Amino acid sequence: MASIQLSEFELLFGPKGTPVDCSNPPRDTGRPPSLPTETSTPEPTANKLQPHAPITEQRTILTTSTPCSTAASNLAQQSMTPPELDCYLFWKQGHAQIPPFDFAANKEPLVSEKNRKRHEKRARTMNKIWGVDNATAENAMFVSLHMVAAMPLIKAVAREEGAELVLAAAGRKHKRGTDYIMSRRPGIHGLFARGAF
C-alpha cells in the first residue's frame, strides 16, 4: 500500500490546531500534584485541581509533570513508519477530530477468514480511537477499503497496543521469576529447623 500524505489524514481527522509544547514542562516540585479522590467534596476538588490549570492553559502536557509510564508509546514509535508516526503524534496530542462512524452500517465482509485475526486487532484499535467498544472485524475491513487515510493511525495505535502487551508479558515473566526465587528462600522457620541460628 502506498504511503499517504498527512494532508489526507488531516482532511479526515481535522486540521492541526495549536501545537502542544512538550519541550517546556512545568517546573518539578519534587512530588506529584495532589489529585481528587472519589470521596472529595467540590471545594477540596477545586483546590486540588487549581495547580493543574496553568499546565492546561499553557498547552503543555500534564504527563510531563506527573509520574506516567510512556514506555509502550516510546517502544511503539520506534517501529512506526513516518506516516504512522505523524498521524499517531497528531492524534496523541489531541489534535485529531475523530469523524463520526456508523458501526452498524459501515461494514464490509472479510475477504478471507485468514485475515480475521488482523482485522479483529484493528477493530480493538478502532474501539480505542473512537472511544467505543462495539467495533468488529467487518468495520475494520470497511476502514481498510473506504477510509484509507485512517489506516496509518489505526496501524500506529495497534503497534502501541502490541508494545503494551509485550511490556506486560515481560513484567509477568519477571514477576514469576521473582516469585519463584522468593519461594525458594528459606523462611525463618526453615532456618530454625535447620539449626542455622
* DSSP code, position 21: B
Region 7-13: what's the mean pLDDT? 63
> pLDDT class for 197, splitting at 50, 70, 90?
very low
Structure confidence by residue, pLDDT tens digits, 138-194: 999 999 999 988 999 999 999 998 888 888 777 666 555 544 444 444 444 444 444
Average pLDDT of the segment spanning 53-69? 49
pLDDT mean across residues, the chain: 72
| Among 119, 106, 88, 118, CA closest to 13 | 88
Distance CA 116, CA 141 (A): 9
Cβ distance 123 to 161 under 8 Å? no
Q: Could you report the per-residue pLDDT of 90-116, keeping only the tens digit for each?
A: 898 888 888 899 999 999 999 888 889
Tens-place pLDDT, residues 124-136: 999 999 999 999 9
DSSP string, 142-185: HHHHH-GGGHHHHHHHHHHHHHHHHHHHHHHHHHHHHHHHHHHS
Angle of the 82-92 helix axis to the 71-78 helix axis, nearest 10: 150
Whether 90 contacts 20, CB under 8 Å: no
Q: Could you tell me the pTM of the whole model?
A: 0.56
In angstroms, the first-to-last Cα distance of the chain is 71
Of the two residues 140 and 67, the one the predictor is more confident about is 140
Task: Report helix, strand or coil for 109.
Answer: coil
CA 38 to chain centre: 24
Q: Is the pLDDT of residue 7 over 70?
A: no
- What's residue 113's pLDDT? 86
- Higher-confidence residue of 65 and 157: namely 157
